[in-house]
Amino acid sequence: MPSAVTNSTNGTHPGGKPEERRVINLGAIPKEWILDPALLHELQTPWETSKNNMLALDLPQKSGILTSRELEITGSYTVQSLLKELASGAITSVEVVTAFCKRAAIAHQVTNCLTEIFFDKALERARYVDSERNRGNILGPLHGLPISVKECFHVDSIPTTLGLRAFNGHVATTNSAVVKLLFDQGAVLFCKTNIPQTMMSSDSENYLFGRALNPNNTMLTAGGSSGGEGALVAFRGSPIGVGTDIAGSIRIPSFCCGTYGLRPTVNRVPYGGQQSVSTPGMATISACAGPLANSIDALEIFMKAVINARPAGYDTRAFDLPWRDVSFRAKTTLRIGVVAEDPVFPVHPPVKKALNDAIKMLQSQGHEIVWLASEDCHVAHATMVAWSLMGLDDRADKLVKAGGEDVIYSRVRITEEKDKIDWSYLSAIEEQPTLQRWAALNVKQMEIASDWEKQWQRHRLDAAICFPCQTTAVEHDESGMPPYTQFLNLLDYPACIIPFGKVDSSTADEPFEVKPGQSAPAYNYNNLEGAPCAIQVFTQKMRDEECLQAARVIDWCLHQSP
C-alpha cells in the first residue's frame, strides 16, 4: 500500500521519487512570477498534513506579482463584465490573460493544481484575438476569455498524460471537441489541471504531478477527479474551468473548494476526442463535460456559448439542440423535493446542517418543500448499480499496471469502504457472465429511473435538492464512495453545486457514528473547521436550463435575499 505524499511542494509522490514533470511545470512559470519564500514562512509543514488556508494569505496582493489592475481583473470582475469589456475593446485579451496566468501561477505554487502550463501560447492567442478585435471582428461569445481545462482534454501540441506513466511523453496532435469549439467561440486556453490516477478517485493525486491541495485548507482534499480545476477556480486563477463528471468529478471539487459547478446532461457539451482510461466503445456509465466557476451566471454563460455553437458539428454524439430560454417560466415560488439521507451512507453533521439551513431559508421565502422518502430515492442502490457498471471495464487498472505504478491510497480506501456495505441487492447479477451482467445492470438502472420519473410526476416537482456528499472536503485519501453525486450520474440528471456556509463550532460536538453495514469517512471537526459547505440542485434529464434557473432562484434565496 503506497504511503501518503509528505509534502506537495518538494516533488515527492507515493514511493518518494521526484518526478521530471513537476520540475518542467515549475520551469514553465516565468521567474518573476515565482513567490518569495518569505511569504510562506508562517505556513505549517508538511502542507498535506497541516491546516493552511492559502486563500487567507492573499498572495496575489502581497506578492507584488500582479499589478493593481490585474488584481481588479481577477478579483473583482465577473465573467459577464469581463466579456462585455473585451467585446467593447475597453480591456484587451492580453491584459486579461496575463492577469489570470499570473494568478494561476501563484495558485499552482501553493496548491499544485496544474499539469500543463502554456502561458506563452495563451498570450500569443490573446494577441491574435486582440488584433481581430481591432479589425472589428468579435470571434464569438467567449471572445478573449481565458479558460482552463482538465488534464484529460487534448490541446494541440500540449502533452496529455492523465498523470499516468503509461501515457508519459504523449503529446496531443489535435484538439478535443470542446476545446476546438471553445477556440471557435473566441476563448483563450492557458493551462490544464490536476487529476487523480485513472480519474477514479475523489482525491486528485497521481505519480507524474503529485497531489492537488485544497486552497481553503491544505490538509483536506481538493476533490476529484477535477480537483485541480476546483483549486484553481477557488483561487480565482481561472474565470471558468472545464471538468468532466462520471460519478461527481465536477461537483465534488466544487463543494470541496467552495465553487459553483454544473454536471450537465450527457452529450449536451461535446465530450469526444479526449485521452481516456476507458475501453473505446464500452460506455457503461457515460461521462459528461461541464463548467466550474464562481457564479451561476458564469456557468450559464459557458453553457449557452457551447450549446448555441451547435456541438453536434464537433462531436457526433452531442445533441443538436439550442439552449432554451426558460426565464419566462420562472415562478415566484418553487416546489422542491428533498432527497433523504440514505441509511447506508450517513452524512456528517455540517453537511446535514447546511441542507437544513438552506431548507429553512427556502421555506421562509415561500418555496414549497416536499420530503422524499429514502426508499424512493434509491441512493444506495443507484450507487451500487453505477459502480458495478463502471467495474465492467478494467482498462484503467491495466494502464496503471503497464506503467509500473502502485494504486494510489485514495483508491484503496474506496475499495475498503465498498467492502463495508451489503451488496446483496446485486448478488444474483454479479454471478452472471459479463454480457448478461451488463444487461441485468441496465435493467436495474431503468427501474430506478422509472421510479424517479414517477416521483417527479407524483409530487409535481420543479427541482430537487440534496447533500452534495456525505462530507465536506475531508483529510487526504479518506473520501470513500460518492453516493450523493453518483446516483445522479446513473439517472443522467443535470446537477448544480451551490456553495453555502462553512463548517463551524455549531456542529463541533455533534456525535457521528458509522454502524455496521454503513460507509462514511470519520468526522474530525478540528481538521474540518472552516471547510466550505454546499447544497446540490438537480432536475430531470435534458432539463439543464431548468436546473440552472432553479439554481439561480435558490442561490438568490441563500445569498442575496433579505
Considering the candidates 148, 176, 201, 225, report the single residue annotated as catalytic.
Answer: 225
What phi and psi values does residue 5 have, to the nearest 5 degrees?
Answer: -65, 135
Grid coordinates given for 395: 482498462
Q: How many CB atoms lie within 10 A of CB 84?
A: 13
Question: Who's near 271: CB < 8 A, 6+ residues apart?
Answer: 177, 178, 244, 286, 287, 288, 289, 315, 317, 318
What tens digit of pLDDT does each residue of 531-545 get? 999 999 999 999 999
Answer whether residue 2 shows pLDDT above 70: no
Q: What pLDDT score does 16 carry?
A: 37
Answer whether residue 4 shows pLDDT above 60: no
What tens digit of pLDDT does each residue of 215-241 get? 999 999 999 999 999 999 999 999 999
286 in active site: no
What tens digit of pLDDT does each residue of 193-203 get? 999 999 999 99
Q: What pLDDT score does 5 carry?
A: 30
Q: What pLDDT score does 283 carry?
A: 82
Largest CA distance in the chain: 68
Q: What is the Cα–Cα distance from 223 to 101, expressed in whole angstroms?
A: 23
Considering the candidates 8, 102, 148, 150, report the single residue annotated as catalytic.
Answer: 150
What tens digit of pLDDT does each residue of 304-314 get? 999 999 999 99
- Do 299 and 291 meet the contact criterion of CB atoms below 8 Å apart? yes
Band of pLDDT at residue 21, cut at 50, 70 and 90: confident
Predicted TM-score (pTM) of this structure: 0.96
What tens digit of pLDDT does each residue of 415-472 get? 999 999 999 999 999 889 999 999 999 999 999 999 999 999 999 999 999 999 999 9
The backbone region for 128, taken as left when phi is positive above 0, alpha when psi lies in -120 to 50, beta otherwise, is alpha
Answer whether residue 8 shows pLDDT above 50: no
Burial pattern 316-342, b for ≥16 Cβ within 10 A else e, equals eebbebebeeeeeeeeeebebbbbbbb
Q: What is the DSSP string of 17-52?
A: ---HHHHHHHHTS-GGGSPPGGGGTTS-SSGGGS--
180 in active site: no
Answer whether residue 561 shows pLDDT above 80: no
150 in active site: yes
Considering the candidates 93, 148, 249, 519, report the single residue annotated as catalytic.
Answer: 249
Question: Across residues 500-511, what is the average pLDDT?
Answer: 97
What tens digit of pLDDT does each residue of 141-191 get? 999 999 999 999 999 999 999 999 999 999 999 999 999 999 999 999 999
